[in-house]
Amino acid sequence: MFKLLFIADPLETFKVYKDSSLAMMNAAHQAGHQIFHAKAQTLSSSSLGITARCELLQIDKKLDPWFSICSSQELPLYQFDAVIMRQDPPFHVEYLANTWLLSQAERQGAFILNSPTGLREHSEKIAILEFPEYISPTIITRCVEEIKNFHQQYLDIVIKPLDGMGGMGVFRVGPDGLNLGSIVETLGEYGKRSLMAQKYLHEIQDGDKRLLLINGKAVPHVLARVPQKGDIRGNLAAGGVGQARPLSEKEKQIAEHLGPILIKRGLFLVGLDIIGSSLTEINVTSPTGFVEISAQTGFDVAKFWLEQLELTLMDK
């Protein structure tokens, strides 16, 4: 039996019918492991080391609420067999501060997934630049003129902030260039913030696909998040509809290339976003899609995650 701590958002905010963190917790609880929860805001430094307010849970998804708290106490993170960092984005200054605290906890003996160094090093949007052979034309800049030149070259582009999530702040600018200057000025706060511009991929109409890598290995199905009529965003939070599909050969190729690289960096759970055959994001903070893929295919993603975690912990 392992002692597992999940650092996550408040339990009351979990969407029971689709929450991936809950799916992980439930799988581990059913297997007999001890499940603890801590809010990210409770991370702190004390004479005990890096600690958090840790709640020992009993879980029953049939009940409302689905959890009961057996005990709550301040505990050092090194006392757990694994600390599962599942704080939702956005990646802001407080998130960054938490990764610094978690790095100190690692130095004290804690085992943390995903690695705080990996979380810091992998901006979910910028990280794709390491793999140019898999991405569509992309620039990151604060300069309005550079984005205008990029638009003139590709005519149909998407512009988004680097710290957005769930499709927030994503704009498409077509060949007429309507509102391009206004969009860039508003999103970029007149040159204060960097923006990402990418060639618009018409394959988005077939879905923005989420490919899950667990311990460097691909889940055998992607979750294609298909935009609804009148929207370019496939994100489920923006109204997209999730459809599970077997991996294509190109998706397998991307997974086989990136998987070993990312796991060496302590990125145990990663969500690759792929439109058509192009890699668009590498999500490392709190990837989702477990429940939808499991429900539609019968492949138990949470069970696979747990098996890989158990193997990792036994090999330590």
62 counts as catalytic = no
Strand extents, DSSP E, the chain: 3-8, 34-39, 44-46, 49-59, 67-76, 82-86, 112-113, 138-141, 157-161, 171-173, 195-199, 208-214, 217-218, 221-226, 241-246, 269-275, 278-283
273 counts as catalytic = yes
Q: Which of 233, 235, 251, 292 is catalytic?
A: 233
Q: Which of 19, 55, 251, 273 is catalytic?
A: 273
Q: Which of 199, 208, 283, 292 is catalytic?
A: 283
256 counts as catalytic = no
149 counts as catalytic = no
Of 216, 200, 299, 209, give the one whose Cα is nearest residue 248: 209
What 8-state DSSP symbol labels residue 63?
S
225 counts as catalytic = yes
142 counts as catalytic = no
* Residue 71 vs residues 35, 41, 81: alpha-carbon distances, Å: 11, 18, 18
Of 42, 18, 45, 10, give the one whose Cα is nearest residue 210: 18
Q: Could you tell me which residues come within 8 angstroms of residue 1 by beta carbon, excluding any fewer than 6 positions away?
A: 32, 33, 34
310 counts as catalytic = no
283 counts as catalytic = yes
Q: Which of 208, 225, 235, 292 is catalytic?
A: 225
Q: Which of 86, 199, 209, 210 is catalytic?
A: 210
What dihedral do alpha carbons 64, 22, 55, 310 form, nearest 10°? 140
In single-letter form, the type of residue at position 195 comes to L
Q: Could you tell me which residues come within 8 angstroms of residue 193 by beta carbon, excluding any fewer than 6 positions away?
A: 142, 161, 162, 187
Q: Which of 86, 125, 199, 209 is catalytic?
A: 125
Structure-token pair, residue 7: 């650092």
Just list the catalytic residues.
125, 160, 210, 225, 233, 273, 281, 283
